[in-house]
Amino acid sequence: MVIKGTSCAGAARIAKHLSCTETNERNELHELRGVAADDRYGALREMEAVALGSRCQKPFYHSSINTLAHERLTDEQRAHAIDRLEAALGLSGQPRIVVIHRKKDREHCHIVWSRISLERMCAISDSHNYRKHEQVARELEREFGHARVQGAHIERDVKQLDQQVQAFIRQLGDLMKIQVLKAGSTLSGAGDARFTLAALELSEDQNAAVRQTVV
């Protein structure tokens, strides 16, 4: 599963993209929420009008959820995926549009939310959005039994953290290394991946007492 998204502006441009039939065999307006209009452009114009009362330059959050052809979502799964993504992005309850596109047996859905909080009349933060996309995608893959798609952000951050943990352990004194191993083996239960990496690193330590603790 691949989830993409970004904050953006331009009701007319977004409506044109959502309405495109030249490259999509199916183009369905699946849901309108929190707007009076009954069409894509009208709904987006409403959201855009609300944003005029704020200083926000990008009042929309446009996202897409893509799956492989043989992993097409059911209506229930799609609704669940959209709601999970919405919650992760901090957009729960915001006006939204959902459009389903299908091309060559592959189906994906577009979701456009209003970022403007009516209570505060300012934009809801879009910080760390790429990581949130990947986190939700990995969770949904496990829930739906879908193949895992390699992400670029969370995996990179985890790798950097692993390297930092190992570098930190290398500079510890022998007694502290032993204490780390003992504490880690107690707290990790079945074994955490980072603790396992640390243990492997210390299994080759120069100090015999440290190596013996690993064993």
- What pLDDT shows up at residue 201? 57
- What pLDDT shows up at residue 183? 56
Which region, left, alpha or beta, applies to residue 191 given φ > 0 means left and ψ of -120 to 50 means alpha?
left
Between CA 121 and CA 115 the distance in angstroms is 10
Give, in order, the Cα–Cα distances in Å from 44 to each of 20, 24, 55, 108: 16, 21, 17, 20
What is the three-class DSSP state of 144? Answer: helix
Domains and CATH numbers, the chain: 2-144 (3.30.930.30), 155-214 (no CATH)
- What pLDDT shows up at residue 187? 42
Question: Are 60 and 115 within 8 A, CB to CB?
Answer: yes
Residues 6+ apart with CB under 8 A from 98: 29, 30, 31, 82, 109, 110, 111
The distance in angstroms from the start CA to the end CA of the chain is 40
Six-digit token pair at 59?
Answer: 């009042």
Per-residue pLDDT of the chain (215 residues; tens, 9 = 90+): 999 999 999 999 999 999 988 777 789 999 999 999 999 999 999 999 999 989 999 999 999 999 988 899 999 999 999 999 999 999 999 999 999 998 887 899 999 999 999 999 999 999 999 999 999 999 999 999 998 887 655 555 545 555 665 666 666 666 665 565 555 554 444 445 555 555 555 555 666 664 555 44
pTM for the complete prediction? 0.71
